[in-house]
Amino acid sequence: MKVVVAAAGTGGHINPGIAIANEIKKQEPNSQITFIGTPRGLENDLVPRAGYELRTINAYGINRKINIDNVKRLYHTMKSISQAKKIIQELQPDVVIGTGGYICIAVGMAAKKCKIPVVLHESNAFPGMAIKVLSKKADVILTGFKEAKERLSKAKKVVVTGTPTKVKYMNMSQTQKNELKQGLDLNNGLPIVLFFGGSQGAKSINESLVKIISEKMNKDYNILWAAGATGYESIKNQLEEKQIDVQNMKTTKIVPYIYNMEEVLNTVDLVVARSGAMTITEIANVGKPAIFIPFPYATENHQEYNAKVLEKVGAANIILDKNLTAQKLNQNIQAIINNPQKMQEMGINARKIAKDHVEEHIYQEIKKII
């Protein structure tokens, strides 16, 4: 199979594209897969690291303000359609796959001009502008959530497949979980609450957590906090200014990054996070209760729509960023971890929206189109 994947900007667009490419390679090892991105985004690191060729075009995201900068962006993006067309004509792919974001508009339009089938994947519950623009032209749109399907009424064909992610449910024994807790110095019998902010930033979550820790609100639960490589030193300094030794806290572990996220998510008792599509998918896969603080500046407010997918089935609470305080966050945590039955029910409810064999399902839909 000869494939072009359009994926650029953030990991939320690029990682699903790589996962789909990996499944195609698994099913058809002789496949030729080329990514199209821009010279600026994370794709320049992630795509070559995954072993795929990356071609670039000069496309840009466009905001809704009318100004000179936006006119320039629009001009370059429209011009990039011809750049994408040239690449597609050279490669002659059997299919073009887009995983959302502005790059899909240029590559998708170029593909249709070359009469190449277009398959789109939308991870979010609220479809982005690129998916909406191409909804009539795409041969099929694959979605992570059924809520997205309901918002794509003009599309030719929509199939709910789920979103590909590395994090799956692991049937871990209690011994395995205890070993992991021991490694984190959190094997004290208290529930573990995992906190992480995502790539879009989590200033409000960070501020609330610093207050919870400094005022010792978490007497009934452990905090495992993935603070991010850049945020870690700042948070460490803030706590040390309050005479708190970050290395020797009894119920708190702060780390720059969690490399074994699959194991950790399968072990912890509750997750507090932003609500990107990948995060929602991973929490559903492992079946954990969650408290979401949606990133307020996400395009089309899609993070709040994502969070509502799990809230609707009784698997998550939502605290809007503007309403977040340390006290409110701690109260929400306490209400869940002090009610083991509720915590278990929320986890079971989360699993209800999980999709199994996602990559294989996506591959089969692509084959149908070809």
Contact (CB, 8 A) for 165 and 278? yes
What sign has the CA pseudo-torsion 346, 252, 275, 268?
negative
pTM as predicted: 0.89
Start-to-end CA span in the chain (Å): 9
Q: What pLDDT, on the 0 to 100 scale, is given for residue 11? A: 85
Contact (CB, 8 A) for 88 and 94? no
Please say if the pLDDT value at position 74 is more than 70.
no
Comparing 36-40, 77-81, 265-269, which segment has the lowest mean pLDDT?
Answer: 77-81
How do 118-122 and 95-98 pair as beta strands?
parallel
Contact (CB, 8 A) for 188 and 217? no
How would residue 200 be classed by pLDDT, with cut points 50, 70 and 90? very low
Q: What is the mean pLDDT of residues 273-298?
A: 95
Q: What is the mean pLDDT of residues 19-48?
A: 96
- pLDDT tens digit string along 206-242? 899 999 999 999 999 999 999 887 788 889 999 999 9
Please say if the pLDDT value at position 7 is more than 80.
yes
Q: What dotted CATH number matches 2-162+356-369?
A: 3.40.50.2000
For the segment(s) 174-351, the CATH number from 3.40.640.10, 3.40.50.2000, 3.30.565.10, 3.40.190.10 is: 3.40.50.2000
Burial of residue 41 (CB within 10 Å: 0-12, 13-18, 19+) is buried
Strand partners, 98: 6, 120
Please say if the pLDDT value at position 199 is more than 60.
no
Cα–Cα dist 166/147, whole Å: 22
* Residue spans in the chain of domains classed CATH 3.40.50.2000: 2-162+356-369, 174-351
Give the residue carrying structure tokens 């792919």.
93
- pLDDT tens digit string along 98-154? 998 889 999 999 999 999 999 999 999 999 988 999 999 999 999 999 999 999 999
